[in-house]
């Protein structure tokens, strides 16, 4: 049974923005044109920004779909719409307003630390970093208008700098707005209020991912506010992890932090490959060192946080705590975009197993050959006697707890696996012979979806019938599940796209 693949443009509001707007499909819409994100950003004298934004207009069908998805939990719309939540610090987030007449959504929120001082001399030189494709469209005094776009969203961004700003400029090569404010001075005792946000459970399976800044999957976020009455200079935040990162990281230097200003610093650790040898969790300590100067005096503060480095088979469904999660199924499985780290197409045992299963079939030569390869992989799994085992109680509860997931080699060794283990095995086998594959997750279940070389057909396969169900029946059942999935909650993970982004297996 084969299904023609619908070529569809994903509207950004229906895409989970944890990595980028194109990584994880949360919902699919029919072909649609660009949607416009209009934002006005009022920057104050301490670098914080007040956002007023509107997203739309949407087509009527798209607007109805997103209302059905977001209106029950409107506060989650900000996080799904904008990836900035990972690297910036939100404040004063108001409930989004749905404008049924304009078919758009309106937002009001603040971002702390939007601008920072790059240099202090006669005046304080502030900088704001913009996306690499931002183009300045207009400027009038302290008003600057920029535009940029991706495949789905046109952004029109108006920045309003403080009235006292002078020497306003935009460097198109560095993508930076710079401006000068009168130099801030003061007297008194320096005081900072640091807040360390960190992941209490770190997945060794994703040790490569934590170190990639573009993925914004930081291990720690340090928010430092100057709560004193005197500016501080040369603020530095450095990190180390007992046993695995023994030396302090090289910190970014923040030239000057004026009273009331907030700095947000992120830690993307370069963990050693030795973490992949862990089979059980290990308690570790994260050390955060904050240094700064006032005049000729240097101040230092070290904050210690305990966390656990999990074994190589452990996966945390979500890092969203009770204060962030809306309780939706999507929030309980917020980390699923990391599952491709388990799909080890290049692992020796798996690769040999897949190549032997499809011997003589050029899977990538044609759609027909691809289907023969899919069937051969499935039949080989059945012939080996690999069976389905039910998940432990609470496995699909999601949330911040970790669960055990097998790599393909584990499933081959144990000759059994849960639905997600079998889906991962099948995706890995098909990937090893050159076919693009997807992991489909719905409440309480997971199954693989394989794409033919032409890109015109998708084959969803139900794996829980192995070893006794024939391929034709598994394909027919998978197709029904795939159709039903689009009428409810689901994640569809494009494995090749995620691998290209850096979400790669540990070996």
3-state helix, strand, coil in the chain (%, to 5): 25, 35, 40
Give me the pLDDT at residue 78, please.
Answer: 64
Give me the pLDDT at residue 453, please.
Answer: 96
How many distinct structural domains can be found in the chain?
3
Give me the pLDDT at residue 53, please.
Answer: 93
Max CA separation in the chain (angstroms):
79
Does residue 17 sit within a domain?
no
Does residue 317 sit within a domain?
no
CATH number at residue 204: 2.60.40.10
Does residue 83 sit within a domain?
yes
Does residue 13 sit within a domain?
no
Q: What is the DSSP letter of 336?
A: G
CATH number at residue 349: 3.10.620
Cβ contacts of 111 within 8 Å, gap of 6 or more: 48, 49, 51, 84, 88, 89, 90, 91
Please tell me whether residues 172 and 286 are part of one structural domain: no
Please tell me whether residues 278 and 254 are part of one structural domain: yes
Please provide the size of the chain in residues.
507
Please tell me whether residues 144 and 279 are part of one structural domain: no
Q: Is the dihedral of CA 337, 442, 37, 135 positive or negative?
A: positive
Please tell me whether residues 76 and 113 are part of one structural domain: yes
Does residue 457 sit within a domain?
yes
Distance, CA of 281 to chain centre = 24
Q: Is the dihedral of CA 112, 114, 118, 124 positive or negative?
A: negative
Q: What is the DSSP letter of 209?
A: G
461, with CB counted inside 10 A (0-12, 13-18, 19+), is buried
Does residue 71 sit within a domain?
yes
Cα-based distances in Å from 58 to 35, 105, 156, 505 = 6, 9, 16, 38
Please tell me whether residues 289 and 367 are part of one structural domain: no
Task: Report the C-alpha gap between 448 and 313 in whole angstroms.
Answer: 20
Does residue 16 sit within a domain?
no
Instruction: Give residue-wise pLDDT tens across range 416-463.
Output: 999 999 999 999 999 999 999 999 999 999 999 999 999 999 999 999
Please tell me whether residues 199 and 170 are part of one structural domain: no
Low-confidence ranges of the chain (pLDDT < 50): 2-32, 82-84
Closest CA to 245 of 300, 203, 284: 284
Please tell me whether residues 471 and 407 are part of one structural domain: yes
Q: Which of 155, 180, 205 is the last residue of a domain?
A: 180
The answer to whether 421 and 410 are in contact (CB under 8 A) is yes
Please tell me whether residues 272 and 245 are part of one structural domain: yes
Give me the pLDDT at residue 271, please.
Answer: 96
Closest CA to 147 of 14, 37, 21: 37
Q: Which of 180, 212, 234 is the last residue of a domain?
A: 180
Tokens 């034709």 found at: 472
Please tell me whether residues 342 and 483 are part of one structural domain: yes
The answer to whether 204 and 254 are in contact (CB under 8 A) is no
Please tell me whether residues 215 and 153 are part of one structural domain: no
Does residue 362 sit within a domain?
yes
Q: Which of 286, 312, 338 is the last residue of a domain?
A: 312
Please tell me whether residues 355 and 444 are part of one structural domain: yes
Please tell me whether residues 266 and 160 are part of one structural domain: no
- What's the domain range around 460? 329-501
Phi/psi at 47 (nearest 5 deg)?
A: 90, 0
């Amino acid at each position: 049974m084969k299904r023609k693949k619908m070529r569809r443009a994903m509207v950004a509001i229906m895409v989970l923005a944890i990595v980028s707007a194109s990584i994880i499909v949360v919902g699919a819409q029919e072909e649609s044109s660009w949607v416009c994100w209009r934002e006005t950003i009022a920057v104050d004298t301490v670098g914080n920004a007040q956002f007023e934004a509107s997203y739309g207009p949407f087509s009527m069908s798209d607007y109805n779909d997103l209302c059905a998805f977001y209106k029950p939990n409107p506060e989650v719309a900000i996080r799904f719409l904008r990836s900035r939540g990972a690297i910036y610090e939100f404040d004063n987030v108001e409930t989004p307003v749905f404008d049924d007449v304009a078919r758009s959504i309106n937002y009001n929120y603040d971002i702390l630390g939007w601008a920072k001082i790059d240099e202090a001399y006669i005046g304080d030189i502030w900088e704001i970093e913009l996306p690499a494709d931002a183009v300045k469209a207009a400027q009038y005094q302290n008003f600057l208008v920029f535009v940029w776009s991706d495949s789905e969203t046109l952004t029109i961004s108006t920045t309003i700098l403080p009235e006292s700003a002078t020497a306003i400029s935009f460097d198109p090569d560095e993508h930076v707005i710079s401006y000068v404010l009168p130099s801030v001075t003061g007297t008194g005792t320096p005081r900072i209020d640091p807040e360390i946000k960190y992941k209490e459970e770190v997945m060794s399976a994703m040790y490569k991912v934590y170190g990639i800044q573009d993925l914004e999957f930081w291990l720690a976020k340090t928010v430092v506010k100057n709560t004193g009455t005197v500016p501080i200079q040369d603020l530095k935040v450095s990190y180390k992890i007992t046993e695995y990162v023994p030396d302090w990281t090289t910190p970014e230097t923040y030239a000057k932090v004026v009273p009331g200003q907030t700095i947000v610093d992120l830690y993307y650790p370069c963990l050693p490959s030795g973490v992949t040898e862990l089979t059980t969790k290990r308690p570790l300590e994260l050390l955060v060192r904050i240094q700064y100067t006032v005049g000729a005096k240097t101040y230092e503060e070290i904050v210690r946080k305990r966390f656990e480095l999990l074994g190589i088979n452990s996966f945390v469904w979500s890092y969203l705590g009770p204060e962030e999660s809306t309780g939706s199924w999507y929030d309980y499985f917020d980390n699923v975009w990391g599952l491709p780290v388990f799909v080890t197409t290049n692992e020796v045992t798996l690769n040999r197993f897949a190549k032997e299963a499809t011997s003589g079939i050029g899977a990538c030569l044609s759609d027909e050959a691809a289907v023969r390869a899919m069937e051969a992989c499935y039949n080989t799994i059945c012939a080996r006697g690999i069976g389905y085992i039910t998940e432990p109680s609470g496995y699909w509860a999601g949330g911040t707890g970790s669960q055990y997931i097998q790599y393909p080699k584990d499933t081959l060794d144990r000759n059994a696996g849960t639905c997600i283990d079998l889906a991962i095995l099948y995706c890995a086998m098909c990937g090893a012979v050159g076919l693009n594959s997807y992991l489909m997750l719905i409440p309480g279940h997971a199954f693989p979806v394989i794409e033919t070389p032409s890109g015109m057909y998708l084959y969803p396969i139900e794996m829980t019938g192995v070893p006794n169900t024939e391929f034709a029946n598994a394909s027919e059942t998978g197709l029904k599940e795939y159709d039903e999935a689009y009428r409810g909650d689901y994640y569809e993970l494009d494995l090749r796209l995620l691998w290209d982004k850096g979400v790669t297996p540990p070996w």
